[in-house]
Structure 1
Amino acid sequence: MFGKKKTNPSIDKEQLELLENAQKRIKQKKALYVHFIFFLIGSVLLIVANTVLGIGKEFTLFGKEWFLIAILVWLFFLIYHVFNVFVTNRFLGKAWEQKQMAKLVSKQQTRIEKIKSKLIKEETLLAESELQSEANENIEIKKTGLTIIVAASENNAIGKGNKLIWHLSDDLKRFKALTNGHHIIMGRKTFESFPKPLPNRTHVVITRQSDYKAPKGVIIVNSLTDALDASRSDSQPFVIGGGEIYKQALPLADTLELTRVHENFDADTFFPIVDENIWKETANTFHQKDDKHDYEFSFITYTKQ
């Protein structure tokens, strides 16, 4: 009697949806029933008004008494109401909506799996190419692990007004695949060009501003040396820009992931010229322009000789 808590019956989401749907169907059928009753009574009143009371007896439409046309029009709306309640709700109701949604979700999942498969394949080919190149060289090279990743045009343009000059979908996907899970080192202006920090990456921002404020998790440093020290737990940190940071990092990096856009552009930020006496090309994949890419481009990997 005392000390016992009353248990409230719970209704899960699916049961609640079924209950709400049943209540909705009851309301629809009640409305249809009322419509039918009014149709019967209204039809009788129209007939009596014309034939007994003589209202509008001389008025005809298309050679027929006006009340007959009125009843037919009303009958049309009644049939439409019946169709909407018993046909439309049955074949195009909530179950149909859920089925269509499931189809769309399935299509999106298939597309995502194709993109993942393509990225994994590209990474595998790139890794195999790098391993084969190292085997052919048969030289033990000491690596720092620092990698520069950049997209530059034929005239080494990389940006204008702190923005990219082009939009290459596959290049963005490659950038995401390579930098995912790593430290990315950048200048303040490059960081501020992002709408928000990139997911699943540790941002290391270089700035001379001593009181610079950044979102939680972003590491603020004052030099490239400090940035490398902050990234020492990562075996392959990436330098992602801008122009001055690239210039400082190039002598320290041992890998360069370059997307070469085969076009010349007007720009205010440029990448340093790649000295092929220092850098050896180990992989090169060419991409033609298509409906998603306005320019031809190549994915080129360089390693320091």
Structure 2
Amino acid sequence: MFGKKKTKPQIDKDQLELIENAQKRIKQKKRLYIHFIIFLIGAVFLIIANTALGIGKDITFFGKEWFLFAILIWLFLLIYHIFSVFIIHKFMGKNWEKAQLDKLINKQQERINKLKQGLIKEEALVAQSEVYKKTITNNANLTIIVAAAENNAIGKGNQLIWHLSDDLKRFKALTNGHYIIMGRKTFESFPKPLPNRTHVVITRQKNYNAPNGVIIVNNLEDAIDAAKTDSQPFIIGGGEIYKQAMTLADKIELTRVHHSFEADTFFPEIDDAIWKETENIFHKKDKNHDYEFSFITYERK
């Protein structure tokens, strides 16, 4: 009997909010009732004070006696109080606030869903790219081979800017017996297909006419897939194909010509954070070479 504790009634948050709101409404209505009584008493007092007692009888505003304006002001306050208690509470009370909050939450949720859809698409593309890159890495050692000036110039008017015999010999020695992947303009810069190499030409032109043995594809991915039987296919140009291949290649065989040239085609910058130099052979200028140059090999870190 002495050990038992009194149990406290449990009221959830929703019930408590309803009770508090009801109490607030009761107080508002009580204040309105008191205001109305005060208005009636005050109005009667003002009329008696002016008409019976003659207080301020000579005071007028705009040709009207002062007590008329006092009653109008008093009435305005009463109407404002009624408007505040009933009209504003009805249209802008708890239910109105909740409706506005729900609308805001719904808009935010729509934005979040759009962002999620965008992220899902982006993640799918990244995953697809990673899987594709992994497939390439497992099947081939994709190599970019290029001759570029100090300012990364590689050509002008679809032609080489220089003639370096040792560079041409190195190109032939490295690519001999392999697949060489190129854009249409690079292919068209050759007098004829290079011997002992399989040409893969990327072009968006439909029904492109090429000699027998030349493989025609529409994009770099298909070109790499066409060369999947080769342990080391080479990317040989031009500028846009080099740019696309930079994220997929494992090695760069660069002939760096130590001079700057005017050009309309350029090789992308080599990022030292991604690529490491593994070999560098310098060649001086001589009677067969008008410029100094270096054979540089880069491998992906």
TM-score normalized with structure 2 length? 0.54
Q: How many residues align?
A: 165
Per the alignment, residue 168 of structure 2 pairs with: 172
Q: Pick one of 142, 148, 153 that aligns with 1:152.
A: 148
| Aligned-residue offset at 1:142 | 6.7
| Aligned-residue offset at 1:171 | 0.1
1:185, 1:238 within 8 Å by CA — same for their partners in 2?
A: yes
Between the aligned partners of 2:292 and 2:218, the Cα distance in structure 1 is 37
| Aligned-residue offset at 1:143 | 8.0
Per the alignment, residue 291 of structure 1 pairs with: 287
Q: Write the deviation string for residues 72-125 of structure 1: whole angstroms up to 9, x where unpaired.
A: xxxxxxxxxxxxxxxxxxxxxxxxxxxxxxxxxxxxxxxxxxxxxxxxxxxxxx
1:149, 1:256 within 8 Å by CA — same for their partners in 2?
A: yes
Q: Give the unaligned 5+ runs of structure 1.
A: 1-140
Per the alignment, residue 260 of structure 1 pairs with: 256
Between the aligned partners of 2:162 and 2:217, the Cα distance in structure 1 is 29
Per the alignment, residue 243 of structure 2 pairs with: 247
Task: Say yes or no: does 1:219 pair with 2:215.
Answer: yes
Per the alignment, residue 59 of structure 2 pairs with: none
Q: Write the deviation string for residues 263-291 of structure 1: whole angstroms up to 9, x where unpaired.
A: 00000000000001100000000000000
| Aligned-residue offset at 1:183 | 0.1
Per the alignment, residue 300 of structure 1 pairs with: 296
Between the aligned partners of 1:164 and 1:211, the Cα distance in structure 2 is 28
Per the alignment, residue 205 of structure 1 pairs with: 201
Per the alignment, residue 275 of structure 2 pairs with: 279
1:261, 1:296 within 8 Å by CA — same for their partners in 2?
A: yes
Q: Write the deviation string for residues 119-144 of structure 1: whole angstroms up to 9, x where unpaired.
A: xxxxxxxxxxxxxxxxxxxxxx9784
Between the aligned partners of 1:245 and 1:261, the Cα distance in structure 2 is 21
Matches within 5 A, 1:89-168: 144-168=140-164
* Matched letter for residue 284 of structure 1: N
Q: Give the unaligned 5+ runs of structure 2.
A: 1-136
Q: Whose Rg is larger?
A: 2
SS at match of 1:285: strand
| Aligned-residue offset at 1:186 | 0.1
Please identify runs of 4+ aligned residues in structure 1 that moved more than 2 A: 141-144
Per the alignment, residue 231 of structure 1 pairs with: 227
Between the aligned partners of 2:192 and 2:203, the Cα distance in structure 1 is 17
Matches within 5 A, 1:34-73: none
Between the aligned partners of 1:144 and 1:230, the Cα distance in structure 2 is 11
Please tell me the root mean square deviation across aligned C-alpha atoms, in Å: 1.1
2:140, 2:233 within 8 Å by CA — same for their partners in 1?
A: no
TM-score normalized with structure 1 length? 0.53
| Aligned-residue offset at 1:210 | 1.2
SS at match of 1:148: strand
Between the aligned partners of 1:177 and 1:236, the Cα distance in structure 2 is 13
